[in-house]
Amino acid sequence: MKFRCERDVLAEAFGASSRAATGRATNPTLSCLRLVLAGSQLRVTGTDGDLTIEATVEVAGTTDGVALVPAKLASEVVRSLPSGAVEIELSGDKVLISAGRVNFTVPVGAEGDFPKWTGSVGSGVTVPAAELAEALKQVVRAASTDDARGVLTGVLVTSVEGVLRLVATDSYRLAIRDIKAAVLPDGSRFVVPARALGELQRLLGGAENVSIDITENDATFAVGNMRLVTRLISGTFADYQRLIPPSPPNQLVIGRDALLDAIRRVKLVARDPIGTPLRIRMDADGVTLRMISQDSGEAVENIEAELSGNEIEMSFNNELLAAGIDACSTETVSIQTSEPGKLAVIRPVVDGDAKKADYTYLLMPLRS
């Protein structure tokens, strides 16, 4: 195998594919990238057995072939090279990587041990990449990061009345985002690992469309010259629809940026900002944020807001509250509540109406 390619093109392919490789597996080939050269096409694949990222790039090929190279090392080497053409050549049990006066020699892995699982090809439905990227940014953050929690580490992908819906929860919060795209038949339900969708977010930047193909066992996303394949998570996802309050009587409409700035300020007094409750009082004068720390004192800030309904006071985990507010892309947001111990419903305000929003974030308050 021997070819030449521009450094930036190769660095992007190696960098993306290496994020799927793992250095913690018992199979050492899973810490490698598989390079397959056929004519002028180079296919670069990284996988951990559950997640695969594959990039296909045009190169000046001299000799076809297949080689495995250490993912992290090869990616860092290519990224460190001077701009211009990079030449890669397989020579015995070594791979030579050179650019100008810089030369590296890296070992090759055992090709026979590399997984050949490649997912589905060719029947995907196209969705605007920018819209999917925004939806993933809003929803993926709400999934659990605890591997022991099974399906809660994934995002439910389903179809409701012809709309693609993404749902994630870690038991403390719930995020829902609808996309107007008939990707799945109504009633279809799949759980896609949040880690895979997080990597997909990184591939979507600058792309126009993404092709999605979901089968019984895996999901395939094609973005430009990149393809991401992930195994689905088995198990039953929570019945999220029963958690959504029909119409909480108290609604606060407030500036998104003003609220985020206030949260960042008042939490400065807390030595443990995550474990210290953020107290919020909503009344006719606006919103009062308060955080108290025995060691660092107290911070109070009042913000103008519009309240309809009853005055109410609640306590929240400030990080989870800020995440929900931040995910709203509008200038103003709506916070709806019924009583202090019940879920708060956070939505962007679209054309003066939160009911028009395609994003919903539910947050469980803390006990005061």
**Average pLDDT, integer, range 231-243:** 91
* For residue 118, pLDDT beyond 70: no
DSSP state at residue 350: B
Q: Are residues 193 and 91 in the same domain?
A: no
Q: Are residues 248 and 307 in the same domain?
A: yes
> What strand order describes the sheet that includes 297-303?
297-303, 286-293, 278-283, 312-316
CA separation, residue 146 to residues 21, 81, 170, 224, 264 (Å) = 20, 38, 9, 32, 26
Which carries the bigger pLDDT value, residue 290 or residue 246?
Answer: 290
Chosen domain end from 113, 144, 175: 113
Q: Are residues 263 and 279 in the same domain?
A: yes
Decide if 168 contacts 194 (C-beta within 8 A). Answer: yes
Q: Are residues 133 and 102 in the same domain?
A: no
Split into its structural domains, the chain has a count of: 3
The span from the CA of 115 to the CA of 296, in Å, is: 54
pLDDT value, residue 124: 64
Residues listed for the chain = 368
CA separation, residue 169 to residues 140, 152, 155, 200, 250 (Å) = 9, 6, 8, 19, 24
**Average pLDDT, integer, range 337-362:** 90
Q: Are residues 275 and 174 in the same domain?
A: no
Q: Where does the pLDDT of residue 276 fall: very low under 50, low under 70, confident under 90, or very high at 90 and above?
A: confident
Is residue 306 one of the residues assigned to a domain?
yes
Q: Are residues 253 and 323 in the same domain?
A: yes
Give tens-digit pLDDT for 319-328: 999 999 999 9
Give tens-digit pLDDT for 42-68: 999 999 989 999 999 999 999 999 999
Give tens-digit pLDDT for 303-312: 999 999 999 9
**Average pLDDT, integer, range 12-41:** 89
The span from the CA of 70 to the CA of 28, in Å, is: 9
* For residue 289, pLDDT beyond 80: yes
* For residue 161, pLDDT beyond 90: no
Q: Are residues 106 and 156 in the same domain?
A: no
Q: Given the structure tokens 């890296």, which residue do they identify? A: 106
Decide if 338 contacts 252 (C-beta within 8 A). Answer: no
Chosen domain end from 113, 138, 154: 113
Is residue 53 one of the residues assigned to a domain?
yes
- Whole domain around residue 166: which residue ranges? 125-241
Which carries the bigger pLDDT value, residue 152 or residue 124?
Answer: 152
Q: Are residues 265 and 236 in the same domain?
A: no
Q: Residue 61: give its domain's CATH number.
A: 3.10.150.10
Q: Are residues 46 and 69 in the same domain?
A: yes
pLDDT value, residue 270: 82
Is residue 155 one of the residues assigned to a domain?
yes
Is residue 118 one of the residues assigned to a domain?
no
Q: Are residues 223 and 132 in the same domain?
A: yes
pLDDT value, residue 253: 95
**Average pLDDT, integer, range 272-299:** 87
Is residue 39 one of the residues assigned to a domain?
yes
Strands 102-107 and 250-255, by their bridges, are unpaired
Chosen domain end from 185, 215, 241: 241
Q: Are residues 101 and 141 in the same domain?
A: no
Q: Are residues 177 and 271 in the same domain?
A: no
Is residue 335 one of the residues assigned to a domain?
yes
Q: Could you tell me where the DSSP H helices lie in 210-317?
A: 256-266
